[in-house]
């Protein structure tokens, strides 16, 4: 299973990147860090700078067809930067158009709202994103991890770092169905 992790050059919540990344690796998959710029991305521990991570490839260099699934880590700034980048938004929408699974945690559903893919779906997020989800035609629920299956398209969402164990269990189970 090859999984794209889409992040902005800065602002990703480190644990929301590293724990899902490790879960993909532990499941025998290949994670790839995709960003809007080359170099290294700056992760954060809430509002404090944390580690940096090397970018494997940039959005213009990749296609949805290369991946079995997409993970959108959160952080407050990360999805806000991504939703302002038309190529990043198109990349996310491409996973829905291609009926490939997507997993998003915390504030990451902002990118889903921008890609116009939440209408008619039930999902969860950090509580401050709920109004955006509702305004985009989605149904927001307060759950640890939510799996929304729409035909062959699966969306896994979660609220916060504290829910990472449930998020990781849910998305790795769903992604492994596609990769097998």
Contacts of 77 (CB under 8 A, 6+ apart): 8, 10, 11, 44
Count of all residues that appear for the chain in the document: 180
Cβ(51)–Cβ(157) under 8 Å? no
Q: What are phi and psi of 54, to 5 degrees?
A: -75, 140
Cβ-contact 6, 33 below 8 angstroms: no
Say whether 46 is catalytic: no
Run of H or E residues at 174: helix 164-179
Selected catalytic residue, list 83, 93, 107, 160: 107
Catalytic center residues: 107
């Amino acid at each position: 299973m090859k999984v794209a992790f889409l992040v902005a050059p800065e602002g990703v919540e480190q644990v929301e990147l590293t724990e899902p990344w490790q879960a993909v690796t532990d499941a025998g998959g290949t994670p790839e860090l995709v960003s809007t710029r080359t170099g290294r991305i700056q992760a954060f521990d809430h509002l404090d700078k944390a580690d940096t991570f090397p970018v494997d490839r940039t959005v213009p260099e990749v296609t949805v067809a290369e991946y079995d699934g997409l993970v959108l880590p959160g952080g407050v700034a990360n999805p806000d930067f991504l939703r302002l980048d038309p190529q990043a938004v198109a990349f996310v929408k491409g996973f829905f158009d291609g009926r490939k699974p997507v997993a998003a945690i915390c504030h990451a559903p902002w990118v889903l709202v921008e890609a116009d893919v939440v209408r008619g779906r039930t999902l969860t997020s950090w509580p401050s994103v709920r109004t955006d989800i509702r305004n985009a035609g989605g149904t927001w629920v307060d759950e640890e991890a939510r799996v929304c299956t729409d035909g062959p398209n699966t969306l896994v969402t979660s609220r916060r770092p504290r829910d990472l164990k449930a998020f990781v269990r849910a998305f790795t189970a769903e992604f492994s169905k596609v990769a097998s």
